[in-house]
Amino acid sequence: MKKDRKVNQISTVIFDMDGVLVNSEPVHQRLEKEMYEELGLDLSYEEQQSFVGRSAMDSWMFVIDKYKLKDKPQDLLLRGRRKYLKVLLETDEVKLMKGARELIDRLEGSYHLLLASSATSVTIGEVLKKFNLAATFPLFIGGDMVQASKPEPEIFLRIANQAGVMPQECVVIEDAAHGITAAKRAGMKTIGFQNHHSGTQILDHADKVVDDLNQITVAMIRAL
């Protein structure tokens, strides 16, 4: 880290993936609903929305405990991942979020770009490969690489540490309330992306809230 860099100067932008980079939440919700039905469960809409932003392992552990299932969380996670990767790789149902490519282009020259997602590292790698973003996000961290899922701050603190930056130098772009909470707990600035596909997410605790990625600019980040 350069000695002359201002302590509070934003140097790094951390992206969430599902619901920010890719418009995948509708697919995830459909596939999860299929799995719940296969397991004989009827989860409420509110209950399903509470999982947005959390890791699949964390969500399945909650479901298994609440509904006294005999299934192992790792088995359910792998089954769900296979379903999702089949859709991702064999169809065009999962698309880049509108404005995501343009946002990356606007920020690349001014900030280091990182990715911190509750998705598994395998899934992240496949998404980045499909949309030719592997070179943009050579450093990323997935939900399977941390002990505590969002809303705990571990995922953001760990990737900042790996990148060699201080938390106060980072701004996080998130579509989920759990993600905003995790980033705030990590001591980072936050931009909440109100993505209607992510359900009813209360993002009022973010430093800034937008409903279009095209609203995020270098000037906005500098003003945080």
CA atoms 99, 155, 207, 7: torsion sign = negative
pLDDT for the residue numbered 53? 60
Q: Are 153 and 78 found together in one domain?
A: no
pLDDT for the residue numbered 42? 83
Q: Please state the separation of Cα 170 from the chain's center in Å.
A: 15
pLDDT for the residue numbered 204? 95
pLDDT for the residue numbered 2? 43
Grouping H, G, I as helix, E, B as strand and the rest as coil, residue 68 is coil
- Name the nearest CA neighbour of 173 among 207, 146, 148: 207
Question: What's 67's domain CATH number?
Answer: 1.10.150.240
Does 59 reside within a domain?
yes
pLDDT for the residue numbered 217? 97
Q: Are 43 and 124 found together in one domain?
A: no
pLDDT for the residue numbered 26? 87
Q: Are 120 and 213 found together in one domain?
A: yes
Rg of the chain (C-alpha set): 17
Grouping H, G, I as helix, E, B as strand and the rest as coil, residue 18 is strand
pTM here is: 0.87
pLDDT for the residue numbered 102? 98
Q: Are 111 and 169 found together in one domain?
A: yes
Round to whole Å and give the CA distance between 193 and 20: 7
pLDDT for the residue numbered 61? 85
Q: Are 120 and 83 found together in one domain?
A: no
* Contacts with 17 (C-beta within 8 Å, 6 or more apart), sequence order: 24, 115, 117, 119, 124, 127
Round to whole Å and give the CA distance between 51 and 38: 18
pLDDT for the residue numbered 59? 82
pLDDT for the residue numbered 46? 76
CB 88 within 8 A of CB 31: no
CB count, 10 Å around CB of 47?
14
- The strand pairing partners of 141, in sequence order, are 116
Round to whole Å and give the CA distance between 216 and 224: 11
Question: What are the pLDDT tens digits along the chain (224 aa)?
Answer: 444 455 569 999 999 999 999 999 889 888 988 998 998 988 877 777 777 667 777 788 888 988 898 889 889 988 999 999 999 999 999 999 999 999 999 999 999 999 999 999 999 999 999 999 999 999 999 999 999 989 999 999 999 999 999 999 999 999 999 999 999 999 999 999 999 877 778 999 999 999 999 999 999 999 99
Q: Are 155 and 212 found together in one domain?
A: yes
